[in-house]
Amino acid sequence: MEMTRARSSREARRITQFSKFRLVQLNLVPLVDTFVALVFFTILTQTTATIPVAPGVQLPESAEGNEAREQVTLSIGSRPAQVTLNGRQILTVAQAARAQSTDPNQPLLIPPLHAALSQAADSVRRLRGTAADQAVPDQLAIHGDRTMRYDLLSRIMQTARMSGFTNITLQVQRAAEGAAEGIPVQQASR
């Protein structure tokens, strides 16, 4: 009988000793309500910017991406085959592909496009109060047609960098709803 009394005494001590380690229930309902409210307000306050795409430019499609913003826009189209800067034709795609650089250190440079982009960069710098030797603070959005060759895109991006644009975005068409609306989507940034 002494054994059972000692055993029950030990059990009672263990129960009181480990009572502080009881499992506590976590109520997840307020946490889920908070997340639902955040998603609701995010969707409610989401803005959509519509930037017109140059006529004749058929952007590639993408399923994800951020909405486009107002920025300097360079469009390379196939119908008509021209390169436009903010809606103003600079040169044709064939002229851009054939253009030879006058700078031996920059063989990818396209001189007529470099002149137009440098003029646009200087205009943005004056508007923003940036020094002439600094990079342009605004983005340059490139609307490249889905049929554009990658070597031409590489030359155009190098020309843009040499003109002072370091924040370059490539834009595509949103696959589901943007294809019907013509809303460009910011896809990649350099």
35 and 74 in a common domain: no
CA 100, CA 106: separation in Å to the nearest integer? 10
185 and 122 in a common domain: yes
Q: Is 162 within the bounds of a domain?
A: yes
Average pLDDT over every residue of 29-34: 88
- Number of structural domains found in the chain: 2
Q: Is 8 within the bounds of a domain?
A: yes
pLDDT recorded at residue 52: 62
Confidence of residue 180 (pLDDT cuts 50, 70, 90): very low
78 and 35 in a common domain: no
Domain range for 174? 61-189
pLDDT tens digits for 113-152?
A: 889 998 888 888 888 888 888 888 888 888 887 777 888 8
pLDDT tens digits for 4-25?
A: 888 888 888 888 887 777 766 7
Q: Is 189 helix (H, G, I), strand (E, B) or coil?
A: strand
71 and 37 in a common domain: no
Other CB atoms closer than 10 Å to residue 106's CB: what's the count?
Answer: 14
Q: Is 56 within the bounds of a domain?
A: no
104 and 78 in a common domain: yes
CA 138, CA 146: separation in Å to the nearest integer? 25
168 and 76 in a common domain: yes
Q: Is 85 helix (H, G, I), strand (E, B) or coil?
A: strand
In 3D space, the residue among 188, 190, 171, 176 whose CA is nearest the CA of residue 49 turns out to be 171
105 and 149 in a common domain: yes
Q: Is 97 within the bounds of a domain?
A: yes
pLDDT recorded at residue 47: 59
46 CB-near residues (< 8 Å, 6+ apart): none
Q: Is 155 within the bounds of a domain?
A: yes
- Measured over all CA atoms, what is the biggest interatomic distance in the chain, rounded to whole angstroms? 107
Average pLDDT over every residue of 103-111: 85
81 and 21 in a common domain: no
pLDDT recorded at residue 179: 43
Contact 132, 122 (CB under 8 A): yes
CA 159, CA 71: separation in Å to the nearest integer? 18
pLDDT recorded at residue 86: 84
Confidence of residue 3 (pLDDT cuts 50, 70, 90): low
